[in-house]
Structure 1
Amino acid sequence: MTMTTHDEDTTRALQGLEDGRSSVRLRAALAIGTAPDPRFVDKLVERCAIEPEFSVREMLTWALTRHAPSLTLPGLLGELRSERAQARSQALHTLSKIGDRQAWPAITRELLSDADDEVARSAWRAAVVLVPEEERAALAEVLATQLGRGGRETQLSLSRALIALGEVILPILAAASVRGAPGARRHAIATERLRHDPDAGFGFAIEEAKRVVALGTPSQEGQ
């Protein structure tokens, strides 16, 4: 009887993930995370790719983190090759929360420069979490190719990722701030200023960077 009850609970939770009401889906994901079961993993990964509500997606990710990485990584890594942008983005987000560095080789240059801004931003965040120490400089070089990309939020995400890599970014930012397209130069200068003075805010850093590039003045601190 206990087994029957357990099976019924499992069926109910899995059905709840597909309910038309977001509140029901949220409760189902919470229940699954509270009582992890390998039978839930595939459905959680599948649902991440199509779930329209942000709060539910976050709960799905949390539920996945409650399961062993040996169970979740295969499905999540498979999603990185999906044609659906949300599948790639949410899988990357979940991998960053799991934090298992076995996933690092799957964070490819293609994902780091994905045409979809949300996928790229998720890839940047995941990469910073998963990158081995000895590959930080190489990652910074790849991330620097994205300088100047997108709107304010996308640029802030990239700046934060670069800053999180530490001092390996300094020569890369210095080089980027004096060559390349004006947008990339402004972004590089703004990133360095944000690193130097986080309290100043990204908007202020960008405006200062625009002035520096427009005047053609050196970007070194102290000038």
Structure 2
Amino acid sequence: MNQTCLITGASGDIGAAIAKKMAARGFSLILHYYKNKENVLKIADECRLYNIDIQIVQADLSKRGAATALKNELSKPIDVIIHNSGSSYYGLLTDMNDEEIEKNIQLHLTTPIQLTKLLLPSMVAKQSGNIVVISSIWGLVGASCEVVYSAVKGGLNSFVKALAKELGPTGIRVNGVAPGAIKTNMLSSFNHDELEMLEEEIPMGRLGTPFEVANTVSFLSSNEASYINGQIISVNGAWYC
């Protein structure tokens, strides 16, 4: 397979799992990170066991102009885009300052849209490609104390549905994955009792794993999902289904 997959936020738990899954399928990888260089280098070494080409790129996607800067670093055309970068903010909306709001919107919504726009021409020229957006359960149902995060993830869900309609005639598919409670560092602020309470809320009685999200991403970007387009797939153990 001579195809290239760009994964933003590849140094995180879900990004790492996606990278390993796509590497196993034979994709060349472009792994984006912001701060955790040590982790992304470790992930790249693990993925190289599949004898694939790997490029590592660094960018702060919460800044204006980040999409253009990242695109200019890419060494080859992209066949699969996986928008996975993100960070959480827990607190009242009234406690967020304007800079925090703007950075959250830029990181989670504006930059993914701008980066997609920049990478689409080569996909359209080939009449093929896949775009998978990692959204969130809160983009579907909203969450108190994560108002801006919920809003931008909801925006990503609408972006998926609208872009899929726009690109349908080109053969490019656009889908989203909305994880529920997944066992990642984003839950590191929860203590043992809080995690137990969370698990009790989930009908399946446990947290999801990054590889369960990665399996869904891999499926959506494969030919096995050739007629799935414009969908948001929830990976949440029947929590808020």
TM-score by length of 2: 0.32
TM-score by length of 1: 0.33
Largest Rg, 1 or 2: 1
Higher helix share: 1
Higher strand share: 2
Q: Which has the higher contact order (CA 8 A, sep 6+)?
A: 2
